[in-house]
Amino acid sequence: MLEPLQEPFMQRALAEVVLIGVAGGALGCWVVFYGLSYAAESLAHSLFPGLVLAAIAGVPLLLGATPAVVVAALAIALGARVAGVSREAAVAVVVTTMLGLGVLLALSPRSPPGVEALLFGDPFGVADADLAAAAALAALVLLSLRLLHGRLLVAGFDRGAARALGVSPALADAALLILLAAATVVAVQGLGNLLVVAVFVGPATAARRLADRMLPTMLLATLLAVLAGVGGLYLSYYAGTAGGASVAAAIVAAYLLSLPLGRLLAARRPARVRAEATIA
């Protein structure tokens, strides 16, 4: 059990999946409750040309991913303003354009070997500099979620009343999308472009079935994401499966396990409401 931990590449991979789990699990709960799963998927795909350019230039992936997210966000905002184009259509056009551009770059002769790791992820390949950047971004995401918690809760619950309660729903959305972009940059190194959305959506949807308050849901989602990450790495180490895909598979397994567990918990909850109704 402890044998893989002797390997430095495994230690770095474990640190990476823990960081991914911490940033992705907690934030994923907001992504799910705000209905931003499609946005999360889109953001990840939009990063791709930036990642490939960073790989070609030999600079940290962060330096490529960040401008790519900004370009994609602006393009979506501008595209949605064109008359007759819905926001959903604008997202789809921008995302496929960015992903296509990334693939063109990745298949160019100047592209270094191993760019498929950018698509499918390679938690075993992260460098120390990537880890340090990921740790800083994960800390930023957690701190922001802590500070914004009350406001995010209000805007997600009742957009119509939010303004009267002193919360701008548009600002809440914008803050979540920025955090989502930051967390995607953290997670994309380990899980890759195509699988990264798993860490936002999987643990959060599982946790949501098992907890009925926001903070416990977030803690549980984080725990599930970290456990699935570590489990996926062990699976990959012993079964020789691809790292990113193994982590994604473990996340899906956690979700599937939550289905019967959630039903069991729901059946065991006391029926307090009905009791009060008979008194009233």
In the list 158, 170, 263, 264, the residue contacting another protein (rule: CB under 8 A) is 158
- Dist CA 169 CA 159 (whole Å): 6
Write down the least CB distance from residue 151 to another protein, Å. Answer: 7
Contact pick of 2, 83, 164, 267 for another protein (by CB under 8 A): 164
Burial group, residue 2, by CB count within 10 angstroms (0-12, 13-18, 19+): exposed
Within 93-152, the residues that bind another protein by CB under 8 A are 146-151
Which of 45/151 has CB closer to another protein?
A: 151
> For residues 216 and 26, what is the distance between their CA atoms, to the nearest angstrom?
10
Helices and strands (H, E) in the chain, number of each type = 13, 0
Pick the closer one to another protein by CB: 65 or 218.
218
Member of 89, 128, 157, 263 binding another protein (CB under 8 A): 157
Quick note: the x/- pattern for another protein over 221-260, rule CB under 8 A, is ----------------------------------------
Question: Which of 165, 257, 259, 261 is in the footprint of another protein by CB under 8 A?
Answer: 165
Min. distance of Cβ 248 from another protein in angstroms?
A: 25
As a whole number of angstroms, the distance between CA 180 and CA 279 comes to 46
Residue 5 DSSP class: G
214 near another protein, judged by CB under 8 A: yes
CA–CA gap between residue 66 and residue 71 (Å, rounded): 9
Centroid of chain to Cα 231:
18
Q: Does 219 bind another protein (CB under 8 A)?
A: no
Binders of another protein among residues 193 to 212 (CB under 8 A) are 208, 211-212
Helix axes 214-239, 128-157, angle to 10 degrees: 150
277 interacts with another protein by CB under 8 A? yes
- In angstroms, the CA 223 to CA 162 distance is 30
- Which among 34, 7, 60 is positioned nearest to 185, based on CA atoms? 60
Q: Which of 20, 95, 167, 235 binds another protein (CB under 8 A)?
A: 167
Task: Tell me the window of 44-52, 116-124, 186-194, 271-279 that interacts with another protein (CB under 8 A).
Answer: 271-279
Amino acid present at 230: V
Which value, in Å, is the radius of gyration of the alpha carbons in the chain? Answer: 20
Q: Given the rule CB under 8 A, which residues bind another protein?
A: 33, 146-151, 153-154, 156-158, 160-161, 163-167, 208, 211-214, 217, 272-273, 276-277, 280
